[in-house]
């Protein structure tokens, strides 16, 4: 399992092999069942995870208890609430497993230690925050100003794996449409493609 993270870090070309081996020692292996939380909204965010297998969703909950799903993460991706981790405030979002998942987790304390001991970790952290920002910007650009059908067609074209791995209610929340609308669009697309 650590080999997957070692390979990921090696491909980044920021750390030496010795630095990678040293760093790996700070990551803890966690099994998270489908539905369990990695980070909970309104609790201090104290960890960063690297997904070995499985998947997660990030979401916040409104006053009516309705989830607003903002992203999905799968194998070979890091997960956390970066803003809340850095600020040391209660998280504004939850990260929950949508499949049984294996995650390598590092605590805030241990990550801070790595940042102080290995200067290249600052560049890695910066790159991860930049990637997270780019994903959020892409989400806003591709889902906020499009029709429901355009949003779904964009997912089909750019992230079709979501259709297979994500529940309809989570996908509809992510797209900002109702489950009924999503079902209607799927039927329209199937009908249109059968001619």
pLDDT, averaged per 10 consecutive residues of the chain (195 residues), comes to: 89 94 96 96 94 96 90 94 87 95 96 95 91 85 82 88 92 92 87 60
Please check whether residues 140 and 153 belong to one and the same domain: no
Residue listed under structure tokens 């504004």: 92
Please check whether residues 102 and 159 belong to one and the same domain: no
Whose CA is closest to 123, among 19, 7, 4? 19
What are phi and psi for residue 93, nearest 5 degrees?
-145, 165
Please check whether residues 43 and 11 belong to one and the same domain: yes
Please check whether residues 132 and 157 belong to one and the same domain: no
Please check whether residues 90 and 175 belong to one and the same domain: no
Please check whether residues 120 and 172 belong to one and the same domain: no
Please check whether residues 90 and 23 belong to one and the same domain: yes
* Bridge partners (DSSP) listed for residue 31: 102
Q: List the end-to-end C-alpha distance of the chain, in Å, as a whole number.
A: 47
**Which residues are CB-neighbours of 62 under 8 A, at least 6 positions away?**
68
Structural domains counted in the chain: 2
Nearest-10 crossing angle of helices 2-12, 17-24: 140
Output the pLDDT for position 192.
Answer: 67
Please check whether residues 126 and 177 belong to one and the same domain: no
Please check whether residues 56 and 116 belong to one and the same domain: yes
Q: Domain containing 59: what range?
A: 2-144
Residue 33: CATH number of its domain: 2.60.120.10
d(CA 53, CA 4): 10
Output the pLDDT for position 10.
Answer: 94
Buried (b) or exposed (e) across 85-99, using 16+ Cβ within 10 A? Answer: beeeeebebbbbbbb
CA 170 to chain centre: 13
Residue listed under structure tokens 């491909």: 11
């Amino acid at each position: 399992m650590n080999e997957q993270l070692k390979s990921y870090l090696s491909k980044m070309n920021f750390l030496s092999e010795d630095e990678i081996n040293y760093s790996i020692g700070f990551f803890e292996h966690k099994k998270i069942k489908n539905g369990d939380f990695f980070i909970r909204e309104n609790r201090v965010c104290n960890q960063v995870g690297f997904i070995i297998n499985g998947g997660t969703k990030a979401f916040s909950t409104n006053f009516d208890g309705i989830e607003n799903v903002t992203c999905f993460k799968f194998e070979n991706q890091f997960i956390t609430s970066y803003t809340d981790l850095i600020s040391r405030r209660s998280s504004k979002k939850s990260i929950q497993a949508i499949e049984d998942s294996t995650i390598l987790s590092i605590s805030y304390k241990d990550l801070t230690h790595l940042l102080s001991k290995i200067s290249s970790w600052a560049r890695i952290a910066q790159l991860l925050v930049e990637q997270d920002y780019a994903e959020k910007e892409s989400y806003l650009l591709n889902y906020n100003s499009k029709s429901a059908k355009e949003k779904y067609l964009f997912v089909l074209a750019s992230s079709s794996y979501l259709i297979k791995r994500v529940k309809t209610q989570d996908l509809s929340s992510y797209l900002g449409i109702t489950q009924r609308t999503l079902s209607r669009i799927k039927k329209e697309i199937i009908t249109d493609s059968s001619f």
